[in-house]
Amino acid sequence: MTTLLVLLSLTVGVYLVAVLEAWTTNGHFRIAAPLCSALALLGRESIVPRKADRIFFEAAPILLLTSALLGAAVIPLAPALIVTDLATGALFLNAALAYVLVALLMAGWGPDGAYAMVGGWRFLGQVIAYAMLIVMPIMAVAMRAESLLTTEIVASQAGLWNILYQPLGFVLFFAAAMALAFVPPFDLPTAQGELAGGVEGEYTGVRLAVFRLGRMVLILTLAAATVTFYLGGWQGPLLPPWAWSAIKTLAVAATMLLAGRMMPRIREAHLLAWGWKLGIPLALLNIFLVGVLVLVLP
Amino acid sequence: MIAGARQGRLSGLRRLTALAMARDLRAFLVPGPEIARAHGLDIEAAGLLRVASPRHASVLLVVGAIPPALREAAAIVYAQMVRPRALFALGTQTLSPLPAADVGARLSQDELVEGVHRLRRAFAEGAFRPQVSSFDTPILHVRIQYTCPMHPEVIRDEPGTCPKCGMTLVPHETRAEGGSAHRHHHTMDSGTPGQAASEPGHSGHPGMDHAALVQYTCPMHPEVIRDEPGTCPKCGMTLVPHETRAEGGSVHRHHHHTMDSGTPGQAASEPGHSGHPGMDHSAMDHSAMDHGDGMFMSMVEVTRDLPRSIDGLAMDWIDVPFGPFFPGLPGGLQLMLTLDGDTVARSAAHAQRDMEPLLPAPDLDPVRFVSRLTEMDPLSPVSYRLLACRAMEDAAGAEVPDDIARGRVGALERERIASHLGWLALFAQQTGLGWLMGDAAGLQLHVRHADLKRLMGLRPALRTLTRRLRRTPLLKARTAGLGRLAPDPTLRGPVVRATGIGADARHTDSTCAMLGFTAITRTGGDALARLFVRVEEITHSLALIETAGVVERPEPADTGEASGAGEAVVETPRGEARLQLTLDKGRVSAARLGTPSMRHLELVGPLTEGQELGDALVAVGSLDLSPWGTGQ
Amino acid sequence: MNALEQYGLLLGLAVGTVGVVLSLYGLARRIGKVRREPGKDVPATAGQLSRDPVWVRYHARYYGYALLFLAFDMEMAYMYPWAVVYRQEGLVALLDMGVFLAILFLGLLYGWSQGALRRQ
Residue range A171-192: mean pLDDT, rounded: 94
Chain C interface, best mutation among A56, A143, A188, by max C CB count within 10 A: A143
The pLDDT value given to residue B266? 36
Contact C40 B343 (CB under 8 A): no
| Secondary structure letter of residue B161 according to DSSP | B
- Asked if pLDDT for residue A105 goes beyond 80, the answer is yes
Report which residue type is found at B596. P
Q: CA of A143 to nearest chain B CA: how many angstroms apart?
A: 34
| H-only helix segments in B309-433 | 366-376, 381-396, 402-431
The answer to whether the CB atoms of B328 and A194 lie below 8 A apart is: yes
The Cα-based distances of A174 to A135, A262, B64, B365 in angstroms read 12, 16, 46, 66
Q: Which of A39, A57, A194, A256 to substitute to test the interface with B, most B CBs within 10 Å?
A: A194
Chain B residues whose CB is inside 8 A of the C32 CB are: 6-8, 14, 128
pLDDT more than 90, % of chain B: 38
Confidence of residue B222 (pLDDT cuts 50, 70, 90): low
Nearest to B335 by CA among B610, B74, B601, B600: B601
Contact yes or no for A146 and C84 at CB 8 A: yes
Chain C residues touching B326 at Cβ < 8 A? 46-47
- Give the total residue count for chain B: 632
Q: Taking CB atoms and an 8 Å cutoff, what residues of chain C touch B316? A: 56-59
Report the pLDDT averaged over residues B562-579. 90
**Is the Cβ pair A45, B318 closer than 8 Å?**
no
- Please tell me whether the peptide bond between B31 and the residue prior to it is cis, using omega within 30 degrees of 0: yes
For residue B569, count CB atoms less than 10 angstroms from its CB and return exposed for 0-12, middle for 13-18, buried for 19 or more. middle
- 3-class DSSP assignment, residue A119: helix
Query: CB-based contacts of B606: which residues, under 8 Å, 6+ apart?
Result: none
Do the Cβ atoms of B357 and B365 come closer than 8 Å?
no
Interface of C with A in 42-101 (CB under 8 A): 42-46, 50, 53-55, 58, 60-62, 65-66, 68-69, 72-73, 76, 79-80, 83-88, 90-91, 94, 97-98, 101
* pLDDT tens over chain C, length 120 residues: 788 999 999 999 999 999 999 999 999 999 888 888 888 888 888 888 776 678 888 999 999 999 999 999 999 988 999 999 998 988 999 999 999 999 999 999 999 999 989 888
Q: Do B73 and C44 touch (CB under 8 A)?
A: no
DSSP A120-140: HHHHHHHHHHHHHHHHHHHHH
How many CB atoms sit inside 10 A of residue B231's CB?
A: 16
Helices and strands, counts by H and E, chain B: 19, 19
The gap from C-alpha A123 to its chain's centroid, in whole angstroms, comes to 14
Residues B14-70 have pLDDT tens digits of 999 999 999 999 999 999 999 999 999 999 999 899 999 999 999 999 999 888 888
Q: What pLDDT was estimated at residue B242?
A: 60
* pLDDT for B188 beyond 50: no
Q: What average pLDDT does range B156-178 have in this prediction?
A: 69
Best residue in B119, B315, B433 for a mutation probing chain A (most A CBs within 10 Å): B433
Lowest-pLDDT choice from B162-166, B181-185, B302-306, B335-339: B181-185
Of A36, A188, A263, the CB nearest to B24: A36
The predicted pLDDT at position B248 comes to 33
Residue in B82, B310, B315 closest to C58 by CB: B315
Q: How far, in Å, CA of B391 to CA of B546, rounded?
A: 26
**Number of C-beta neighbours around residue A228 at 10 A:** 29
Q: What is the pLDDT of residues B134-148, one digit of tens each?
A: 888 888 776 667 777
Q: Are strands B215-217 and B225-226 parallel, antiparallel or unpaired?
A: antiparallel
Residues in CB range of C106: below 8 A, 6 or more apart: none
Across the range B308-335, mean pLDDT stands at: 87
User: Does residue B378 have a cis bond before it (omega within 30 degrees)?
Assistant: no
B469-512 residue pLDDT tens = 999 989 999 999 898 999 988 999 999 999 988 888 888 888 88
Q: Is the pLDDT of residue A110 over 70?
A: yes
Per-domain residue ranges of chain A: 2-296
A1 contact partners, CB below 8 Å, separation of at least 6: none
Rounded percentage of chain A residues whose pLDDT exceeds 90 = 79
Query: Does residue C28 sit at the A interface (CB-CB below 8 Å)?
Result: yes
A222-A223-A228 Cα angle (round to 5): 95
> CB A55: neighbour CB atoms within 10 A?
10
| Chain C nearest C-alpha distance from B325 (Å) | 5
Identify the residue with better confidence: A58 or B215.
A58
Q: Is C23 on the interface with B (CB under 8 A)?
A: no
Q: How far is A284 from chain B (nearest CA, A)?
A: 25
pLDDT given for residue B412 in this prediction: 93
Q: How far apart are CA B141 and CA B139, in angstroms?
A: 6
What value does the CA radius of gyration of chain B take, rounded to a whole number of Å? 29
Out of B208-217, B419-428, B445-454, B488-497, least confident range: B208-217
Instruction: Report how many Cβ contacts below 8 Å link chain A to chain C.
Output: 177
Q: C17-36 pLDDT, tens per residue?
A: 999 999 999 999 998 888 88
- Arithmetic mean of pLDDT over chain A: 92
The contacts found for A93-98 with CB under 8 angstroms, 24 or more apart, are A93/A138, A93/A150, A93/A221, A93/A225, A94/A134, A94/A135, A94/A138, A96/A67, A96/A68, A96/A70, A96/A71, A97/A67, A97/A68, A97/A71, A97/A134, A97/A180, A97/A218, A97/A221, A97/A222, A98/A67, A98/A131
Q: Is C87 on the interface with B (CB under 8 A)?
A: no
Given a cut of 90, is residue B399 above it in pLDDT? Answer: no
pLDDT digits (tens, 9 = 90+) for B235-246: 667 676 665 443
Mean pLDDT of chain B: 80
Chain B residues touching C46 at Cβ < 8 A? 321-326
Q: Which residue of B has its CA nearest to C54?
A: B318
pLDDT band at B178; cut points 50, 70, 90: very low
Q: Which 3 state secondary structure label does DSSP give A267?
A: coil
- What is the rounded distance in angstroms from the CA atom of residue B440 to the CA atom of residue B449? 15
- Ranges A169-178, A244-253, C31-40: which has the least confidence: C31-40
Please give the backbone phi and psi of residue A67, each rounded to the nearest 5 degrees, phi first.
-65, -40
Q: Do residue A113 and residue C43 have CB atoms under 8 angstroms apart? A: yes
Asked if B8 and C50 come within 8 Å (Cβ–Cβ), the reply is: no
Angle (nearest 5°) at CA B134 between B128 and B136: 150
Of B19, B127, B432, Cβ closest to residue A193? B432
pLDDT band for position A16 (cuts 50, 70, 90)? very high
The pLDDT tens digits of the residues spanning B583-616 come to 888 888 888 888 898 889 999 999 999 999 999 9
**Segment among A48-62, B281-295, B530-544 with least mean pLDDT:** B281-295
Residue in C closest to B76 by C-alpha: C47
Do residue C38 and residue B140 have CB atoms under 8 angstroms apart?
yes
C-alpha span between B205 and B240 (Å, rounded): 8
B358 or B354, which is more confident? B358
Chain C positions in Cβ-Cβ contact with residue B5 (cut-off 8 Å): none
Model confidence at B149, in pLDDT bands (50, 70, 90)?
Answer: low
In the prediction, which pLDDT does B247 show? 35
- pLDDT tens for A250-298 read 999 999 999 888 999 999 999 999 999 999 999 999 999 999 999 998 7
Question: How far, in Å, CA of B340 to CA of B185, rounded?
Answer: 10
Answer yes or no: are the C-beta atoms of C39 and B73 closer than 8 Å: no
> For residue C84, which residues of chain A lie inside 8 Å, CB to CB?
142, 146-148
pLDDT exceeds 70 at position A137: yes
Chain A partners (3+ C-beta pairs within 8 A) = B, C
CB contact under 8 A, A114 and B23: no
In angstroms, the CA B597 to CA B623 distance is 9
The mean per-residue pLDDT over the stretch B198-204 comes to: 36
The answer to whether B282 faces chain A, any CB pair under 8 Å, is: yes
**What is the per-residue pLDDT for A48?**
92
Q: Would you state the torsion angle of the CA atoms of residues B467, B473, B477, B480, taken in this order, to the nearest 10 degrees?
A: 0
Give me the pLDDT at residue B619, please: 94
Task: Determine, for residues A25 and B434 on separate chains, whether the beta-carbon distance falls below 8 Å.
Answer: yes
Pick the closest to residue B201 from B128, B269, B140, B149 (CA basis): B149
Q: Do C43 and A202 touch (CB under 8 A)?
A: yes
Distance of CA A65 to the CA centre of its chain: 11
Report, as an integer, the average pLDDT of A199-213. Answer: 94
pLDDT of residue B309: 81
Q: Which residues of A touch B328 (CB under 8 A)?
A: 192-194
- Estimate the crossing angle of helix C3-31 against helix A205-230, to 10 degrees: 150
Are B296 and B267 contacting, i.e. CB atoms less than 8 angstroms apart?
A: no
Q: Are B112 and B32 in contact (CB under 8 A)?
A: no
B89 CA to centre of own chain: 21
Alpha-carbon torsion angle B114, B116, B117, B119, nearest 10: 130
Does the pLDDT of residue B297 top 50, yes or no? yes
CB A72, CB A217: distance < 8 Å: yes
pLDDT at B186: 39
Query: What pLDDT, on a 0 to 100 scale, did the predictor assign at position B172?
Result: 63
Q: Under an 8 A CB cutoff, do A294 and C108 touch? A: no
Comparing C-alpha atoms, which of B174, B180, B179, B237 is closest to residue B205?
A: B237
Q: pLDDT-based confidence at B295, cuts 50/70/90?
A: low
Contact B256 C53 (CB under 8 A): yes
Chain A CB within 8 Å of residue B326 CB: yes
Q: Are B52 and A270 an interchain contact pair (Cβ–Cβ within 8 Å)? A: no
* CB of B580 closer than 8 Å to CB of B566: yes
Hey, are the CB atoms on C14 and A87 less than 8 Å from each other? no
Residue in C69, C84, C108 nearest the CB of A131: C69
- Which positions ≥6 away from B347 have C-beta within 8 Å? B335, B336, B337, B338, B604, B605, B608, B609, B616
Q: How many CB pairs under 8 A join A and B?
A: 151
